[in-house]
Structure 1
Amino acid sequence: MDLQLKGKTALVTGSASGIGYAIALGLAKEGASVYINSRTEETLRNAIQSIKSAVADASVDGIVADFSKVEEVNALIEQLPEIDILVNNVGVYGNQPFETTDDAHWFRDFEINVMSGVRLSRHYAPLMKAKNWGRIIFISSESAINIPEDMILYGVTKTAYLGLSRGLAKYLKGTNVTVNAVLPGPTLASATDKMFEEIAAAKNISVEEAPMAFIQEKRPSSIIQRFAKTEEVANMVVYVASPLSSATTGAALRVDGGVVDTAF
């Protein structure tokens, strides 16, 4: 199926690895010109080379930016003033005991997980509206609905993305600019490797057994009973970024493996 993305320009934040990288790769395979992002030049260069190795004719470039710093967000916008597709993927997470997570940690995570999407959308949405075409996608999480007790802060930031995406979709009603949130469940990425090692050590099991141990303890409602692959999440995002998804907007689209125990 041709997703009609040739000639479109996309920005995927936090995309040197993990879900963001898989999204950037998927968009490049469909012929979009893709800008990826990382906090360091080295990781950015490696990711660009990896995409070019996988896609012979890939149009991919990168911009270094730390989304905890508003001046670096502004610098990114100056380098890339107009795009067709914005994927707000950048985010941080980790074990965050509620009673010991201080204000500074809350504000830092909100800067990265929420305000990055606010600032970029505030710039790009009016431009998309003016040309009457665009896609804005927020990478939320099943944790936005099924908030984990050990990562309340992360869950709250991802819930904020649900409200932001729905409100922005309404703001852009009657246009050909769509806004959606995608909610991944537990997904394999480089960041999960350390987690699996810690689980294995704590439970005296092998690293290979750790993913299932996590699912059984932390996400027992999972229907697929496994971690998703990054490309499984990316497939949804790439479709939603395409012109073929024109009737899908204001939606919270779950790629959670059935973790959230509801059919709607």
Structure 2
Amino acid sequence: MQIDLAGKTALVTGSTEGIGYAIARQLARAGADVVINGRSEEKTANAAERLKGEGAGGTVAAVAADVATAEGCDALVAKVPHVDILVNNAGIFQPLDFFEANDEVWDRHWQVNVMSAVRLSRAYLPGMQNVDWGRVIFIASESGFNIPVEMIHYGVSKTADIAVARGLAKRMAGTGITVNSVLPGPTLSEGVEAMLAEERAKTGKPIEEVAADFVKKHRGSSIIQRAASVEEIANLVTYLASPLASATTGASMRVDGGLIDTL
């Protein structure tokens, strides 16, 4: 099975590092023309240059824009008016007790994790419909089903992502456009490494072991009993972005290591 995305333009939001960068790299290696996005001009440009040297088969562009705002989404769409593949990856998480999470925390998670995807999907889907082909992928989380007690605000935002993706898939029924959500479990991204830095310093263990200990303690239903790699998430996203996944739409696709304990 070979995935060929030559001639397709893919935008991955929040793709200067972590899962987003891994997705952009896999799409680029499959031949897509890839747009890297982040908030910082310098960081976004640096990520794009790095990607060019890592096997990109198509062009690589950098567009800095804060997609957490309507103005940022508008600026991004103005620079990139059409995409074939939209990966709504931009997201934040902040462990914080419910009674300490004020309105600002809730609103920030809503704007970054949900509204960025809503605005960009609304902007790009009509163009996809004009050519009767497109892929929209929401990077949600297993936390959308297993609401984490230590960050309820985050879990709720990811539940919303799953719901929006399902609704949009139904809205685009009968077209060549698919809309899906992807549900990673704990993943060893830069953000998770930063969250575990104190424990790593305290124990002196390799980061992979620290992450595995975290999974076993806080996500005990995980079957793989470790954190996933960013590449493992990107592999599923790349398949969903391809013509091979033409009959998969409206789905919440798990790459959670078996963490969600339902059939």
Single out whichever of 2-11 and 206-215 deviates more from structure 2.
206-215
Q: What does 1:1-264 correspond to in 2, within 5 Å?
A: 1-55=1-55, 57-200=57-200, 204-208=202-206, 209-263=209-263
Question: Structure 2 CA distance, aligned partners of 1:156 and 1:85?
Answer: 25
Question: Structure 2 CA distance, aligned partners of 1:67 and 1:134?
Answer: 20
Is the partner of 1:254 in helix, strand or coil?
strand
Q: Check the 8 A contact 1:197/1:207 in 2, yes or no.
A: no
Single out whichever of 126-135 and 162-171 deviates more from structure 2.
126-135
Q: Deviations over 1:70-125 (max 9, x none)?
A: 21111101111111000000000021210011111111111110000000001111
Structure 1 residue 18: Cα displacement: 0.5
Single out whichever of 61-70 and 167-176 deviates more from structure 2.
61-70
Q: Deviations over 1:108-150 (max 9, x none)?
A: 1111100000000011112211221100000000000011100
Single out whichever of 48-57 and 110-119 deviates more from structure 2.
48-57
Distance 1:49 1:226, change over 3 A: same
Number of matched residues? Answer: 261
Is the partner of 1:183 in helix, strand or coil?
strand
Distance 1:170 1:57, change over 3 A: closer
Q: Check the 8 A contact 2:85/2:136 in 1, yes or no.
A: yes
The amino acid that maps onto 1:205 is: T
The amino acid that maps onto 2:110 is: F
Normalization by structure 1: what TM-score?
Answer: 0.96
Question: Structure 2 CA distance, aligned partners of 1:69 and 1:253?
Answer: 27
Q: Check the 8 A contact 1:15/1:38 in 2, yes or no.
A: yes
Structure 1 residue 194: Cα displacement: 2.0
Is the partner of 2:118 in helix, strand or coil?
helix
Structure 1 residue 53: Cα displacement: 1.1
Question: Structure 2 CA distance, aligned partners of 1:57 and 1:185?
Answer: 29
Structure 2: unaligned runs, 5 residues or longer: none
Q: Check the 8 A contact 1:16/1:44 in 2, yes or no.
A: yes
The amino acid that maps onto 1:104 is: E
Q: Check the 8 A contact 1:67/1:73 in 2, yes or no.
A: yes
The amino acid that maps onto 1:215 is: V
Structure 1 residue 222: Cα displacement: 0.6
Structure 1 residue 57: Cα displacement: 4.3
Distance 1:56 1:23, change over 3 A: closer
Structure 1 residue 39: Cα displacement: 0.8
Q: Check the 8 A contact 1:139/1:182 in 2, yes or no.
A: yes
The amino acid that maps onto 2:204 is: S
Distance 1:195 1:125, change over 3 A: same
Distance 1:69 1:207, change over 3 A: farther
Question: Structure 2 CA distance, aligned partners of 1:56 and 1:164?
Answer: 31
